[in-house]
Amino acid sequence: MRPARKESQDSSAAASAVKDSTFGARHVAIIMDGNGRWAKKKHLPRALGHKKGVEAVRNIVRVAGETGIEVLTLYAFSSENWNRPRDEISDLMGLLRQYIQSDIEEFVENGIKLKVIGNYKGLEPDIVRLIEGALDRTAGNDRMTLAIALNYGAQDEIIRAVQTIAGAVQQGDVEPDKINAGHIADALDTADLPPLDLLIRTSGELRLSNFLLWQAAYSELYFTDVLWPDFDKRELQKALRSFGDRQRRFGGR
């Protein structure tokens, strides 16, 4: 039938437009680093660097949604960030509270599904409640998934996955020598997300800092000297273009 065909042509045109702007990257993750150095450069308190960092988050979430990225995963607080001074931790938690409260309506309106990876139940109880409320309210959305890594460490995530699998072994659900990569992937916090295509780190540091160690096995890596508060649409597009220029071989030839 003509109308049906027209519709499918339209949607395939839309799909290829999205592919053009994302260069085929479905899942992009960012280690948002450099808030402190951004503030220092401007002789401002670190807290203002973090505040500016939240503005960059807000902007990049919008841009990622418009670009057609399916999943954007943001490293917001690591399991090692508890080693920071108490004042700074409290500034970061305050900003997290504010961010969820002020942006939840926008997530609902824009079809953004929130997901949290990491041991978020280790955060303060009121933040856990805010997170769970936001997860609930956005569960039916499907335009883009925004996965925020909170109290996240990849080693901790892998340990928790191993505990889950050990439990299944104990129940007699899996034979130890039958455990495979699928069991591990399914037990990680990212179980329901597509494979990680592109991992970006800002601020010039060349390390992963315990982020997505399992998931990044064949991700393309992109490092930029730009400090997180300055990371904008242009910088994301640069990273995606660089991804588009890569030849992914996955060990083949």
Whole-angstrom CA distances from 30 to 117, 146, 179, 205, 207 are: 13, 11, 30, 13, 12
33 an active-site residue? yes
Given a contact cutoff of 8 angstroms between Cβ atoms, the answer to whether 236 and 198 are in contact is: no
Given a contact cutoff of 8 angstroms between Cβ atoms, the answer to whether 1 and 170 are in contact is: no
Report what 119 binds from Mg ion, ligand IPE, none; CB cut-off 5-8 Å by kind. none
Could you say which DSSP state residue 120 is in? G
Q: Does 156 bind Mg ion (CB under 5 A)?
A: no
Shortest Cβ 140–Mg ion spacing (Å): 35
Report the run of H or E that residue 198 belongs to, with start and end: strand 198-201
Residue 60's region, left for phi above 0, alpha for psi from -120 to 50, else beta, is: alpha
Q: Does 32 bind Mg ion (CB under 5 A)?
A: no
Whichever of 33 and 70 has its CB closer to Mg ion, that residue is 33
Binders of ligand IPE in range 20-39 (CB under 6 A): 31-37
35 an active-site residue? no
Binders of ligand IPE in range 214-243 (CB under 6 A): 228
Whichever of 199 and 240 has its CB closer to Mg ion, that residue is 199
Q: Does 78 bind Mg ion (CB under 5 A)?
A: no
Catalytic residue numbers read 33, 81
Q: Which residues bind ligand IPE (CB under 6 A)?
A: 31-37, 75-78, 81, 92, 203, 205, 207, 209, 228
